[in-house]
Structure 1
Amino acid sequence: MALQRGDAMIATAPPAARWLLIESANAWPRQALGALQPAPEEPAVSSEVARRCGELGYRPVLIRRHGRVDRAAVRRYALVDCRPGHESVRWGELPTDAYLLNVLEAVATNSLNALPDLQPPTQEPIYLVCTHGRHDACCAVRGRPVAAALAGAYPDRTWECSHIGGDRFAGNVVVLPHALFYGQVPPSRAVEVAKHHAEGRVVPDLLRGSGIYPPAVQAAQHYARLAGHSDSLTALRPTQVQQLANQHYKVTLTTTSATAVVIEVSVHFDTVDARLTCAGKAPVQVRRFDLHGIDVVGG
């Protein structure tokens, strides 16, 4: 539906600076954490994981391999940090779902090294593809072919995942640890996203934004790339964000040279008298960013 309407994906990446990935072979209900299995000593695992993740600023997401799941295999979890300069992934073994509470306690007390199973940090990318059909059918219908394409090329890096936001833009792909959200990815271009990332570049026409930045910065980065500025992962980082009157923002971004680019955008909310997703309701409001100016300074 969003594709037919031509909905803009600009600046639609949700906040996602830190992640807790939880491997789960159980069926995922609409609220994914409901799939976590309680333990006698901790019957409310799902709600407690959600509460602690909220307090710590982590986004909990269920993951599973594409295709047949080996239920006898040891499950894993991962702690992902997407903050610029801190990008890392740390994997560990997950004996029970209740063990997640130990992991989150170690996060809260800054004692991760006390977790015997936790591996050293790596920057090896992870490709998450939303296939959470019980949250929205479009995610399963459009996401699974994308997951199949990525898993065929990168089986160790590809995971199906639970809801990540933006169901109307399925197939949705997130590249960690840079928190890059891609939308409306067709299976024919899934591997392209991964290859560009390996080269240190983004794919601008499929990019919804980076979850480490607020929407105004995501919009500024989009318009800077549209104007011909770098598609490098490390370029176009914000050095200043000014909120002006009338919902205008002035964002200063770094470039690959000695210059900077200053983007002015404004935010508006449009009413759409249609369902945005298969499970959505109408009418709804959608956010839109308009460009008002681009200036190159310095150099």
Structure 2
Amino acid sequence: MTDFRCALASLTDDEPMVGTAPTDTELLLVEAPGPWGRDAVADNRLPDAVRAHLASLDLKVFMVRRPDGSAGPGTHVYRASAIADGFSVRAAVLDRPDDLLALDLDTLEPHDGPLWLVCTNGKRDRCCAEMGRPVAGMLAGRWPGGTWETTHLGGHRFSATLMALPSGVTLGRLEPTDAIAVCEQVAVGGFPLGWARGRAGRPGIDQARELHVLAGGDPADEVVAVPGPVRRQSCGDDKVKGTTRYEVAGG
């Protein structure tokens, strides 16, 4: 099945995206230009000691790079911590990657402005590269300082997929032709339901409840998780896994 594309299969099946945003509440984004391997934290061009240090941290680490392949000056680092309505984001620009070894993450300065994180790690899943990179390129034209290619967002089958900070709004099935207009909505506080996966930093059930209400549902409705179909979820391997869907109880 070398021609299998998980994103096309998911779209053809009309698989729901609701409740599939990342649930991690503490995130660290580290600039790592150049290629990444399947496990990007372990396989990148950062010094060995830095890679080992990042792997030891008790938070979710993302590698990020500029869509145009440029790097610097310095090494950009962002820390995002979940709060009630999204994330609190802090940042630093280090002189060199090795400065990460002594960096106190609690001393980073507040970051102002949006970050657009587009999953593009082709070594992990070919759909992320094929569909994510054109979207990242379009967004970089609009937000050159805030657009990053990233990895680890999960949900390869919903490519092109994006997480926005500080809102935590996570989107899927973006196309280059609609990406800027959709993200403009996010930038002014919107949550474009046609592309919505959920708000990152929350459990899937909470993501689903929020989207249910935003779509006009009764806040008093009970939203429940139910087993979804067992399916292949990635181009990167042929394993099949169970999925979860969210429904209104008794609906």
Q: Sort the TM-score into its range (normalised by shorter chain).
A: 0.7 to 0.9
Shift of 1:36: 5.0
| 127, 145, 149: which one aligns with 1:160 | 149
Report the counterpart of residue 34 of structure 2 in structure 1.
Answer: 26
Structure 1 pair 138–287 and aligned structure 2 pair: CA distance change class (3 A): same
Task: Say which SS state the counterpart of residue 153 (structure 2) adopts.
Answer: coil
* Aligned mates of 1:85, 1:67 — CA distance in 2: 31
**1:127-176 superposed Cα distances (whole Å, 9 cap, x missing partner):** 01111100101000000111111111111111111221111110011100
Task: Say which SS state the counterpart of residue 32 (structure 1) adopts.
Answer: coil
Q: Which amino acid aligns with 1:82?
A: A
Paired positions, count: 242
Contact kept in structure 1, 2:33 and 2:45, CA below 8 Å: no
Runs of at least 5 residues in structure 2 that lack an aligned partner in the other structure? 1-8
Report the counterpart of residue 126 of structure 1 in structure 2.
Answer: 115
TM-score by length of 1: 0.74
Contact kept in structure 2, 1:89 and 1:124, CA below 8 Å: no
Contact kept in structure 2, 1:143 and 1:172, CA below 8 Å: yes
Shift of 1:221: 1.4
Q: Which amino acid aligns with 1:191?
A: I
Report the counterpart of residue 275 of structure 1 in structure 2.
Answer: 232
* Aligned mates of 1:37, 1:146 — CA distance in 2: 26
Q: Percent identity?
A: 30
Report the counterpart of residue 99 of structure 2 in structure 1.
Answer: 99
Residues 1-299 of structure 1 mapped to structure 2, 5 A cutoff: 1-34=9-42, 35=44, 37-38=46-47, 43=49, 45-52=50-57, 54=58, 58-70=59-71, 73-84=73-84, 87-103=87-103, 106-107=104-105, 110=106, 112=107, 118=108, 120-227=109-216, 261-272=219-230, 274-292=231-249
Structure 1 pair 265–86 and aligned structure 2 pair: CA distance change class (3 A): closer
Q: Which amino acid aligns with 1:47?
A: A
* Aligned mates of 2:86, 2:152 — CA distance in 1: 25
Task: Say which SS state the counterpart of residue 134 (structure 2) adopts.
Answer: helix
Shift of 1:214: 1.1
Task: Say which SS state the counterpart of residue 263 (structure 1) adopts.
Answer: coil
* Aligned mates of 2:94, 2:111 — CA distance in 1: 18
Alpha-carbon RMSD across the aligned residues, in angstroms, is 2.2
Contact kept in structure 2, 1:87 and 1:123, CA below 8 Å: no
Q: Which amino acid aligns with 1:15?
A: T
Shift of 1:267: 1.4
Report the counterpart of residue 3 of structure 2 in structure 1.
Answer: none
Runs of at least 5 residues in structure 1 that lack an aligned partner in the other structure? 113-117, 230-260, 295-299
Structure 1 pair 280–227 and aligned structure 2 pair: CA distance change class (3 A): farther
* Aligned mates of 2:13, 2:112 — CA distance in 1: 37
Structure 1 pair 265–88 and aligned structure 2 pair: CA distance change class (3 A): closer
Structure 1 pair 99–279 and aligned structure 2 pair: CA distance change class (3 A): same
* Aligned mates of 2:162, 2:239 — CA distance in 1: 26
Contact kept in structure 2, 1:77 and 1:91, CA below 8 Å: yes
Task: Say which SS state the counterpart of residue 223 (structure 1) adopts.
Answer: helix
* Aligned mates of 2:145, 2:240 — CA distance in 1: 41
Task: Say which SS state the counterpart of residue 194 (structure 2) adopts.
Answer: helix
* Aligned mates of 2:81, 2:45 — CA distance in 1: 23
Contact kept in structure 1, 2:80 and 2:89, CA below 8 Å: yes
Contact kept in structure 2, 1:23 and 1:75, CA below 8 Å: yes
**1:204-223 superposed Cα distances (whole Å, 9 cap, x missing partner):** 12110012221111111122
Shift of 1:195: 1.1
* Aligned mates of 2:89, 2:225 — CA distance in 1: 34
Structure 1 pair 282–33 and aligned structure 2 pair: CA distance change class (3 A): closer
* Aligned mates of 2:66, 2:54 — CA distance in 1: 22
The higher radius of gyration belongs to 1
Shift of 1:102: 1.9
TM-score by length of 2: 0.87
**1:50-99 superposed Cα distances (whole Å, 9 cap, x missing partner):** 222x2xxx3211111111324x6322111223312684332212334332
